[in-house]
Structure 1
C-alpha cells in the first residue's frame, strides 16, 4: 500500500497517472467523519423513506460530514487474466479550500475510526485537499478577477506575499545598481517596454535555512517571509502571482521551497509561449493544486473502466459531490449524472446476495466486507470451484501488505479486499450460472467475465433499509418485498371495552368514530410508542410515524416478515394500541397477516401507477367514495340501535361485577 499525503502528493502524481492508465478496473472506498444515522432528526434514514427522500437525506449528510480518507486499488490484468497486479493507495483527505467552510463530525464515527487506528493528526496535517468542478471554476474566476484574498489558502499568506514583493523589488534594484556600477549595459528593446529589467538572474530567500548561500546573488539583509517549508499550494501561488505581475520574467520556487529564482524569460520559452500562455500555464498549475485529489479521480473516471465498491451507495454520492460536481437536486438526475461519469459500476454486496445459496452452504451468512474477505482468502473458498482463482500480487508502488483482518476500515485496505473478492465472485457467479458446463480449462479475461455476468448485477447498488431491491442506475429502482406498514390506532379506554372480542371492539370503534371521530395521534404519543417498540423488539428494526392520509392512524414499519409477525402479535395484545385489520391479529397466523399486508400494498401500488400513467385521479376517488358511502350508509342505519344496546349491556355488566 502506498501512503500518499499532502507533503508527497506531487511526487506520487506521475506514478498515480501511470497506474491509472494501466488499470483494468478500480476498487474504491471512503471513510467519513459521520453517517446519516448520526445526523439531525430530519436527516436520519427511516423505513418509511422512498428513494427520493433517502437521497435528499444522504445529500444533507454528505454536505455536513466530510470524508477523511480515500482508498484506491488499481487492478491491472496480466497474461490475459491469468493473474492480476494491484496497486493500493491510501490518501487522507482534508479540504483546505476555501470560503471559510465549516464541517461537522459525529462522536460515534470518530470513536469508530479511533478504535480502528485512524490517525487524526495525519488527517489534519497531511490531508490532501480536493474540490469539485464548480468550486474550481469559481476559484479560477475569483483569481482572474484580481480581487482574491490569498489568505483563503493559508492564514497569513496575503501578508507574506506583500513582504515577498518588497523583498523582490529590493533584490532587483540591488542587482541593477551593482550591474551599473560594474559595467554599463544597454537594456534590450523588449525589457525597456516591460518595465523592470534584470541584468542577471537573482535568488530570493523564502525560508531562513541557516545553510551557506552565495551572498553575491542573495540579499541576506532581507527578512524571509516563512519560517517553515512552503506547501506545494503556496509555491504555486507565488509563481502565479509574480508571473502575472511581471510577465516578461520567469519565477520558479526551488524544490525544497527555500529559494525563489527570478530571471528574464529564455528566448526558447518565448518561441513556444506567448506571455499570456505563460501566465495561463502558471494558473493551471495553481488550479491543479487547488483540485488536489480531484484531479486523480477525474483521470480515473475518464478511463471509463469499471468502478467497484462494497455497499457503495454512500461512497458514490461522496465521490460525485467531493471530486466531480455539486450533487443534483433530484435522485433521478443524480443517477443520470453518475451513469455519465461512471458507465459501469459493480457492488460486491449485490453479487454476494445473488450467490447467497453457495455462500450459505459454506457457512457465510453475513455479507459484510470483513466476512467475505476472510472467506475468499480461506482454504474453504478454493473448494467451491474445480479450478484455481487467478493470482493477485502487489505492485512495486505498494510499500507493505496488511495482515489478514488487521486493518479493515483503512480505506486502501478495504478497496484492495473489495477488488480481490470481486474477481473471485465473478468466477464463482459465471461458474454457477453455467451450471458447471462453461469452459474453465483456462482462466478467462476480465472483459469476458464481465460480459457473462454484467446483465445480472452491473449498475446495481444496495440502499439499506428501504423498500426497493437496490438503486438501479440506468432506470427505475425495482420494488422490494418488505411488508407494508402496520396500521394501528388507539384503543378506547372505556371500562367495558376490555370485555369485547376483537370483532365487537372494531364494530364499536366504527360506530363511535362515525359519531365523534377517531382519537388522534400526536407527536407526543409517537415518542413513547417508538421507544417502547424499539425496546421490545431489540435488534429487530422498527420505525413509527403518523399517517398523513388517515387521521388517528399511526404506521409501524418493519423490514422483514419475521419482524412484521413479531410486531403484529405484540400490538394485538397491547393495552392502548391495536392494529387496524380485517382480522384479529391474535386469531390468525402471521402468514395471513403478511398476505393481507402484501395485498394492501399491491392495491396501493396499482392505484399510484394508474394515477401516474393516466392522471385520472377522479375515477379512483369516486370508486373509493362510493365504497365509503355504502359502508357509512349501513352504519348510519344501525347506529342508534347498536349504540344504545352496547351502552346498556356494558353498563349492566360493569355494575353487576362491581
Structure 2
C-alpha cells in the first residue's frame, strides 16, 4: 500500500511539474494574432524600432525547396534564378519573429522585446485569394515543434504586399470619387414596380430608425437588372441619405450615409486593417535600422516576396530591391564562418552557435530584458524565439570582435566588414553574396565541364583525371558533371592530355559558361584586419557513387538546418577561398 501511494504521489508531482513547465512557456510566448494586433501595439513596435540599436528576425515557412538541380558550382545569378526564386514564389511565411534590441537604462547595456507574429491572409481580400504549396517534410517538421496551425488559420494577421497596397488604395480613392456618379436612367418596367416599392419601404423604415451605428440593411436577393434599378431609384428617392454596397454573398447592403467624408475615412481604415502585418515590415524598412538574421537568404526573400513586392526575375534586380528595403543587414552565419570567430566554431547552426558563444573565449552581454525567461525556454523553431537567439549571437560575436581590437581603434565600425553579406549554401567557393557591391567571381580555371556515357560513375571520372591528383565532382545529370582539380597549377595541361576521345568531351568551365572574368574577394572584407589566411582545409577525394538525386540529402528539406547538425563545411576546399579563413 505504501509503495502504491508513493508511486501515485510521484506520478502526481511529475504531471504537476510538466503542467507548470508548459504554463511557464505559454506565459512567456509573445504571440501576436489578429486578436491583439491593434493600433496600440503597432505604435509600441514603431517606437521601439525607431529607438533601437538593431532588430533581428526569423521566419517559418510552408515549404522550402521546389524541384530544381542545385550545383555547387552555380553562379549566384543561376542559384537565385533557377533555385531560390522558383521556391520562394511557391511557398509562404506562416510565422514571422521579430526581436528588438534597444539601449538599456544603464549606459552601454541593451534591453530586448520579442514578438511572434502569425500571418495568414485568409479571405480578407477576395481578389487576392492566395494559392500556395505545402511541403510535407516542412509541415511534419513544424508539427513536431508543436506549431499551432489552428491559431494560424483562425487568428492569423492579414497582409497584402506593399506594392499592391498603393495600387489598391488608389483604386479605393477613385471608387470613392465616382461612387455618386451613376449611369444614365433607364425606364422602369411595370412588372418591376411592386418589387421596387417593397425595396423602398424597407429602406425608408431603416432610415427612420435613429440608431447612427446600426448594422447595414441586407436587401433580398435579386438579378443583375433589378440590382441596376435599385441603384438608380435609390439615388433618385433617397439622395445622399444612404449608399449601397455588395457583400461577399453578392447581396446588396444599404448603409446610412453619415457623411461622404466619414464613410471614405471608414473605408480607408478598413483598408488599413487589411494591410495588416505588412505595416510591420514597412516600419522596419523605413527605420533603416540594422536587420540581423541567421542563414537569412530564404528569410529575406520570403519577406520581400510576401510582404513587399514579387521577387524580381533577375538576381541583380533582387539585390537592388533588397538593399533599398533593408540597407544594412547582417547574417550571423557569415560572421560565424568567416574571420576570427571561425576558429572557435565547429558548427554554425543556430542552437550550436549560441551554445558556443556562452563559453570562453566568448560572452553574450547581459540584457535588461523584460523577457529573461525566453532565453531558457528552448522554443527553437518558434520564429520569435529564433529571432531572439539570432540577436544574442550577433551580440556575442560583436563583443568578441571588439575585444580583439586595440584601444585606439573605432569599435563602432567593427562589424561593418560583414554588412550586407548573406550566406550562400552549397556553393564551394562563394561563401556569401554582397547586396551593396560586387560579388565574388572566383577563379575556376581548374574546373572542367565533362560529358560522358550514362553508365559512368564517380570512379570512372576519378580514373580519367587520376594523373592530375585529387578532384571534386559536381554532378549535373547522368551524362554531365563539373570536375575540379585541387592542384590548380596542372589545369593548363588537362585539355592537351585528355581532350582526345570520342567517348567523352571536355570544356573549360569559363568557356562552357561564356562567363565572368574571375575577380577577387570584395574589397572591404579583403582589406579588413580581422581576416587572415592561415587555416586552409585540404580536400578529400570523393570516391563514393553519386546519389540517385542531385537535389541533396533527405535532410535538405529541414529549415536551413538552423538547429540540425550540419555536414562539414566545404567553403575552403579550393585555394581561391583562402581569403575566407
- Out of 83, 90, 95, the residue aligned to residue 109 of structure 2 is 83
Q: Does 1:31 align with 2:35?
A: no
Shift of 1:482: 7.7
Partner of 1:407: 379
TM-score by length of 1: 0.55
User: May I ask how many residue pairs the two structures share in their alignment?
Assistant: 421
Task: Compare CA radii of gyration and give the structure with the larger one.
Answer: 1
C-alpha change, 1:352 and 1:175, in structure 2 (3 Å) is: closer
Q: How many angstroms apart in 1 are the aligned matches of 2:119 and 2:431?
A: 32
C-alpha change, 1:169 and 1:111, in structure 2 (3 Å) is: farther
Q: How many angstroms apart in 2 are the aligned matches of 1:114 and 1:482?
A: 43
Q: Does 1:545 align with 2:526?
A: no
Partner of 1:5: 33
Q: Does 1:394 align with 2:369?
A: yes
Partner of 1:115: 144
1:144-293 counterparts in 2 under 5 A?
Answer: 173-174=204-205, 200-204=210-214, 277-293=261-277
Matched-pair contact (CA < 8 Å) for 1:84–1:393: yes
Q: How many angstroms apart in 1 are the aligned matches of 2:141 and 2:301?
A: 21
Partner of 2:395: 423
Partner of 2:87: 61
Partner of 2:481: 555
Classify the secondary structure of the residue corresponding to 1:343.
coil
- 1:605-625 deviation digits (Å, cap 9, x = unpaired): 998439xxxxxxxxxxxxxxx
Shift of 1:82: 2.1
Is there any run of 5+ residues in structure 1 with no aligned partner, and where? 148-165, 178-197, 207-218, 224-244, 252-259, 266-274, 441-447, 491-520, 534-539, 548-552, 565-578, 585-596, 611-658
Q: How many angstroms apart in 1 are the aligned matches of 2:515 and 2:443?
A: 18
- 1:491-546 deviation digits (Å, cap 9, x = unpaired): xxxxxxxxxxxxxxxxxxxxxxxxxxxxxx4xxx28x858999xxxxxx9964226
Classify the secondary structure of the residue corresponding to 1:123.
helix
Matched-pair contact (CA < 8 Å) for 2:449–2:508: no
Matched-pair contact (CA < 8 Å) for 1:313–1:462: yes
Q: Does 1:461 align with 2:422?
A: yes
Partner of 1:185: none
Partner of 1:590: none
Partner of 2:532: none
Partner of 2:346: 365
- Out of 169, 172, 175, the residue aligned to residue 140 of structure 1 is 169
Q: How many angstroms apart in 1 are the aligned matches of 2:199 and 2:355?
A: 61
Classify the secondary structure of the residue corresponding to 2:164.
helix
- 1:13-42 deviation digits (Å, cap 9, x = unpaired): 333233223222110111111112xx123x
Matched-pair contact (CA < 8 Å) for 1:26–1:419: yes
Partner of 1:47: 72
Classify the secondary structure of the residue corresponding to 2:121.
coil
Q: How many angstroms apart in 2 are the aligned matches of 1:389 and 1:40?
A: 40
- Out of 153, 159, 171, the residue aligned to residue 130 of structure 1 is 159
Q: How many angstroms apart in 2 are the aligned matches of 1:83 and 1:173?
A: 66
C-alpha change, 1:389 and 1:107, in structure 2 (3 Å) is: closer
Classify the secondary structure of the residue corresponding to 1:286.
helix
User: Which one has more relative contact order, counting CA pairs under 8 Å at least 6 apart?
Assistant: 2
Shift of 1:137: 3.5
Partner of 1:536: none
Classify the secondary structure of the residue corresponding to 2:517.
helix
TM-score by length of 2: 0.62
C-alpha change, 1:16 and 1:249, in structure 2 (3 Å) is: farther
Partner of 1:474: 436
Q: How many angstroms apart in 1 are the aligned matches of 2:33 and 2:460?
A: 48
Classify the secondary structure of the residue corresponding to 1:26.
strand
Is there any run of 5+ residues in structure 2 with no aligned partner, and where? 1-28, 177-196, 220-237, 245-252, 462-470, 499-505, 519-581
Shift of 1:139: 3.0
1:469-508 counterparts in 2 under 5 A?
Answer: 469-480=431-442, 485=447, 487-488=449-450, 490=452
Shift of 1:486: 5.1
Shift of 1:464: 0.9
What do you get for the CA RMSD once the two structures are aligned? 4.5
Q: Does 1:438 align with 2:448?
A: no
Classify the secondary structure of the residue corresponding to 1:393.
coil
C-alpha change, 1:318 and 1:530, in structure 2 (3 Å) is: farther
Classify the secondary structure of the residue corresponding to 1:289.
helix
- 1:542-565 deviation digits (Å, cap 9, x = unpaired): 642269xxxxx722367x969x9x
C-alpha change, 1:116 and 1:106, in structure 2 (3 Å) is: same
Partner of 1:239: none
Shift of 1:471: 0.8
Classify the secondary structure of the residue corresponding to 2:112.
strand
Classify the secondary structure of the residue corresponding to 2:116.
strand
Partner of 1:496: none
Q: How many angstroms apart in 2 are the aligned matches of 1:452 and 1:167?
A: 76
Shift of 1:263: 7.8
Q: How many angstroms apart in 2 are the aligned matches of 1:482 and 1:167?
A: 81
Partner of 1:190: none
C-alpha change, 1:247 and 1:283, in structure 2 (3 Å) is: farther
Q: How many angstroms apart in 2 are the aligned matches of 1:532 and 1:167?
A: 87
- 1:385-423 deviation digits (Å, cap 9, x = unpaired): 6xx75321333xx5x833647211111011001111111
Shift of 1:85: 1.1
C-alpha change, 1:460 and 1:175, in structure 2 (3 Å) is: closer
Partner of 1:452: 414
Normalized per residue, the structure richer in helix is 1
Q: How many angstroms apart in 1 are the aligned matches of 2:387 and 2:320?
A: 25
C-alpha change, 1:9 and 1:79, in structure 2 (3 Å) is: closer
